[in-house]
Amino acid sequence: MKALICLLIPILLLCASCDRETPEEIISREIKDILYNISRHYNWGEIDDMMEYASMDYRHNGMQRMHLRQLWLDRMGRYPLMEIREVMVSFDGVYAIAGFKMSLISSEESVVSREPEDHGDLSFFYYDGFEWKLHGNQEFFKK
């Protein structure tokens, strides 16, 4: 029994000293996970699963949720693969912006964009009290 206690104490001390994620790191990880899932659904041609991440109030440069769906269907038709990398997340309360490099890839060409500067349709998030959702930049017109 003493041997068991002697083993448990160092294990408990190690667990107690483990670094915990800060709220900022948790938010960043959640948004990175969403972007990873979106790219995975894109690569598998699962538009409905991609759209699950978009808010019903999505608006980006005048584009609404239904337009976002069509944009991604058009992109899928031309570029069957997408890769997202170098994700950096900044946030302010219930809003977050993800910056990243996005590659759309076909057998004939690849297009690399810096987000949100180039398109931004996957960059703007809102926390609705339960989960992070794509929200767009909420602009009614393209800038």
* Ranges in the chain, pLDDT < 50: 4
Mean pLDDT of the chain: 90
**Per-residue confidence (pLDDT) for residue 140, from 0 to 100:** 84
The answer to pTM > 0.75 is yes
**Per-residue confidence (pLDDT) for residue 2, from 0 to 100:** 59
Task: Report yes or no: 89 and 28 within 8 Å, Cβ to Cβ.
Answer: yes
22-134: CATH topology: Nuclear Transport Factor 2; Chain: A, (3.10.450)
Domain boundaries, the chain: 22-134
**Per-residue confidence (pLDDT) for residue 16, from 0 to 100:** 54
**Per-residue confidence (pLDDT) for residue 74, from 0 to 100:** 97
Alpha helix (H) residue ranges in 18-139:
23-43, 47-51, 65-78
